[in-house]
């Protein structure tokens, strides 16, 4: 039995919510659970895979797709629509590649570009470097304070509601060592990832943050998102002013996209409310 599995709703197309980084899925998508139960009448699965969130089990990124496959099989609720933000989106893509029969649809919210070995490797290295610096307690405190200050500035600039603000504060209160462990192997996985192995034509959407194109590293991420959308045969969406936390600063738009994909998946599989 998998630990810490929460299932919300009694019927309808199952939707699995995967958070970014290594944080808990609980509270990561404020309002999405209730919104999906209300419309289109989905069942929502919340679960922290080993090595993340509140899980007491050890686990690696390389093991993530096999773990989620066993979860879907155990629950007997597949295929599921998978919603993944950032590193959670990369996990969703690994599951779709490795176990396509488990996946009824995909919503990728500013996904970590696992289809770009250079960008993914750069991300892993950056997180590992920060973790190395923050092994010093004073450096860790300074880093957390800096991230908290940036979060408060973003909350004010974007006018986030209370639930979205609380979620962002929780996300930035990150232990960089734990995040580095959760991202370990990302570069190697990206080097072996071939987007042509993804199921083409399933209900899906790729949402990319509104990054400045003059920043080449961020432009590379957006190009990777474009290639993912092409591989999946899915629309690429980019809302003005959206950030990496697009599920918080454009919550209504993100929820609407998830609803659309969930409806399409339910129609395809014949799932009813």
Total domain count, the chain? 1
State the average pLDDT over residues 203-231: 94
Identify whether 37 is part of a domain.
Answer: yes
Residue 245 belongs to domain spanning = 6-116+194-269
Paired with 7 in beta bridges are 45
Cα–Cα dist 85/92, whole Å = 9
107-138: pLDDT as tens digits: 999 999 999 999 999 999 999 999 999 999 99
Cα–Cα dist 24/5, whole Å = 12
> What's the pLDDT at 134?
92
Identify whether 261 is part of a domain.
Answer: yes
Nearest to 225 by CA among 130, 133, 112: 112
Whole-model pTM: value is 0.95
- Is the per-residue pLDDT at 273 higher than 50? no
> What's the pLDDT at 3?
78
22-34: pLDDT as tens digits: 999 999 999 999 9
Identify whether 1 is part of a domain.
Answer: no
> What's the pLDDT at 270?
62
> What's the pLDDT at 268?
87
Nearest to 37 by CA among 55, 17, 56: 17
Which residue carries 């919550």 as its tokens? Answer: 251
State the average pLDDT over residues 56-80: 94
Cα–Cα dist 33/23, whole Å = 17
State the average pLDDT over residues 12-18: 97
CATH number of domain containing 243: 3.40.50.1820
């Amino acid at each position: 039995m998998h630990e810490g599995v929460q299932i919300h709703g009694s019927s309808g197309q199952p939707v699995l919510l995967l958070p970014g980084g290594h944080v808990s899925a609980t509270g990561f998508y404020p309002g999405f659970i209730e919104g999906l139960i209300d419309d289109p009448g989905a069942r929502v699965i919340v679960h922290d895979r080993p090595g993340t969130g509140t899980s007491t089990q050890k686990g690696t990124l390389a093991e993530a797709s096999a773990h989620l496959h066993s979860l879907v099989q155990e629950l007997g609720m597949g295929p599921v629509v998978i919603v993944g933000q950032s590193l959670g989106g990369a996990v969703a893509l690994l599951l779709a590649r490795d176990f396509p029969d488990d996946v009824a649809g995909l919503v990728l919210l500013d996904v970590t570009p696992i289809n770009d070995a250079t960008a993914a490797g750069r991300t892993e290295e950056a997180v590992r470097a920060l973790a190395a610096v923050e092994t010093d307690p004073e450096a860790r405190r300074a880093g957390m304070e800096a991230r908290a200050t940036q979060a408060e500035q973003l909350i004010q600039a974007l006018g986030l509601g209370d639930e979205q603000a609380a979620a962002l504060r929780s996300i930035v209160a990150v232990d960089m060592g734990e995040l580095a462990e959760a991202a370990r192997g990302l570069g190697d996985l990206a080097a072996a990832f071939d987007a042509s192995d993804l199921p083409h034509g399933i209900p899906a959407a790729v949402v990319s943050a509104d990054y400045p194109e003059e920043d080449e590293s961020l432009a590379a991420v957006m190009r990777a998102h474009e290639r993912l959308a092409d591989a999946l045969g899915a629309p690429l969406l980019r809302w003005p002013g959206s950030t990496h936390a697009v599920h918080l600063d454009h919550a209504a738009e993100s929820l609407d996209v998830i609803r659309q994909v969930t409806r399409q998946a339910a129609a395809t599989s014949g799932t009813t409310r």
